[in-house]
């Protein structure tokens, strides 16, 4: 029993501790040290039709100007208290640039990738190298590389933007600089692709001014061929590839992992969980992803989030390709990466399996 005097001493003690900007550990252990990760981000899905209609409205209403810089609608995870973040570490968004429009040149310490969803005729210039963007291509803009986008075509260009901005912001390492002119001079076209010729033939003496892959564009036809070859090789129904920096074999960017998963029709993947979060973009097909207790039904162009340590499996209703953006390189570098099959979720997966095939 605490006596009233003890209680009043305790109350006074806690008041003095708080007044001196201190907090006792013993009153908050369970929040700080849960037995396994308890993410505040939730599994969530945004539909292509709605996203596409909203960026279309933005393109009619809002010009692309200095200050705002980009016509981008950010995925704001409902678990993240109104922040414009898809996960605690990853920014995900849809961007639109109309015919004849450009988005001004700038650079920032946050690194970015683009995954092209629709359109043609748009070029992203990265440190002077103009990179043509086509549907299904992955384009990198590494940390502190100047970049701008120009649509020389006759149709709107729409793509997915993935950045490590929430992480860089949490580390208080955000720097930003507009280029002196609206656009950079184009010094070369698709130069990164000729430097990294063939599968593993790198031009001798290749040096890049940024801390990313010397290859800035990963073309869809090559990704497609690689996935088909993998499936043909092992006769399976699921193939996954990681996009890598050809000089290191590591991730495309120090903080950002990119992968593509191909699921043949009516395939169910092994229930799995891993530390770190992901944003998926549906490049092709349709299906269902079960993430924790959420059932996310997806089709082409949809985007969805899987939080850290969330038991997840995917079930395809037709031949499907899922692009995955993740913070896995960060967790690996910091020795925080863990992954495991989730046996408890298997019964549910088998139910699904018989449901989709039966």
Residues interacting with ligand 1HN, by CB under 6 A? 70, 72, 91, 93, 95, 103, 108, 112, 147, 149, 161, 163, 165
Q: Would you say 192 and 129 are in contact if contact means Cβ atoms under 8 Å apart?
A: yes
262 φ, ψ (degrees, to nearest 5): -110, 125
Q: Would you say 258 and 274 are in contact if contact means Cβ atoms under 8 Å apart?
A: no
Query: Could you write out the DSSP letters of every residue in 325-343?
Result: EE-HHHHHHTT---EEE-G
In the complex, minimum distance from the CB of residue 145 to ligand 1HN, in angstroms, rounded to a whole number: 10
Q: Residue 164 or residue 273: which is nearer to ligand 1HN going by CB?
A: 164
d(CA 334, CA 352): 36
In the complex, minimum distance from the CB of residue 99 to ligand 1HN, in angstroms, rounded to a whole number: 17
In the complex, minimum distance from the CB of residue 256 to ligand 1HN, in angstroms, rounded to a whole number: 13
Q: Return the closest-CA partner of residue 150 out of 111, 121, 191, 108.
A: 121
Count CB atoms within 10 A of the CB of residue 92: 26
Q: Residue 48 or residue 146: which is nearer to ligand 1HN going by CB?
A: 146
In the complex, minimum distance from the CB of residue 298 to ligand 1HN, in angstroms, rounded to a whole number: 23
Closest residue to bound ligand 1HN by CB: 161
Q: Residue 103 or residue 238: which is nearer to ligand 1HN going by CB?
A: 103
d(CA 33, CA 91): 26
d(CA 322, CA 56): 24
Q: Residue 124 or residue 267: which is nearer to ligand 1HN going by CB?
A: 124
In the complex, minimum distance from the CB of residue 50 to ligand 1HN, in angstroms, rounded to a whole number: 19
Q: Residue 112 or residue 133: which is nearer to ligand 1HN going by CB?
A: 112
């Amino acid at each position: 029993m605490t006596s009233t005097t003890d209680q009043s001493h305790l109350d006074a003690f806690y008041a003095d501790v708080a007044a001196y900007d201190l907090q006792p550990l013993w009153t908050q252990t369970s929040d700080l040290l849960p037995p396994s990760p308890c993410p505040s981000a939730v599994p969530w899905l945004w539909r292509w039709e709605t996203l596409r209609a909203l960026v279309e409205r933005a393109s009619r209403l809002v010009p692309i100007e200095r200050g705002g810089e980009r016509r981008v609608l950010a995925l704001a995870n409902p678990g993240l208290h109104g922040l414009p973040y898809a996960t605690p570490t990853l920014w995900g968004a849809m961007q639109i640039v109309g015919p004849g429009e450009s988005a001004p040149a700038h650079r920032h310490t946050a690194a970015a990738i683009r995954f092209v969803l629709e359109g043609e005729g748009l070029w992203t210039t990265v440190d002077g190298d103009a990179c043509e963007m086509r549907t299904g291509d992955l384009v990198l803009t590494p940390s502190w590389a100047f970049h701008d986008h120009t649509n020389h075509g006759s149709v709107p260009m729409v793509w997915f933007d993935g950045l490590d901005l929430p992480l860089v912001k949490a580390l208080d390492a955000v720097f930003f600089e507009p280029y002196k002119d609206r656009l950079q001079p184009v010094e070369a076209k698709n130069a990164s692709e000729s430097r990294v010729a063939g599968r593993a033939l790198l031009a001798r003496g290749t040096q890049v001014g940024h801390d990313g892959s010397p290859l800035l564009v990963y073309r869809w036809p090559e990704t497609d061929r690689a996935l088909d070859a993998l499936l043909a090789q092992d006769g399976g129904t699921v193939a996954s590839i990681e996009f890598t920096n050809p000089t290191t074999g590591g991730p495309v960017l120090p903080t950002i992992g990119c992968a593509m998963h191909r699921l043949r029709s009516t395939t169910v993947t092994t229930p799995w969980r891993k530390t770190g979060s992901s944003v998926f973009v549906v490049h092709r097909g349709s299906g269902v992803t079960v993430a924790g207790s959420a059932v996310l039904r997806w089709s082409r162009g949809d985007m969805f989030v899987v939080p850290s340590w969330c038991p997840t499996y995917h079930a395809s209703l037709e031949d499907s390709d899922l692009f995955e953006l993740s913070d896995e390189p960060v967790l690996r570098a910091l020795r925080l990466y863990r992954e495991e099959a989730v046996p408890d979720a298997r019964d549910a997966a088998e139910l699904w399996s018989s449901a989709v095939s039966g």
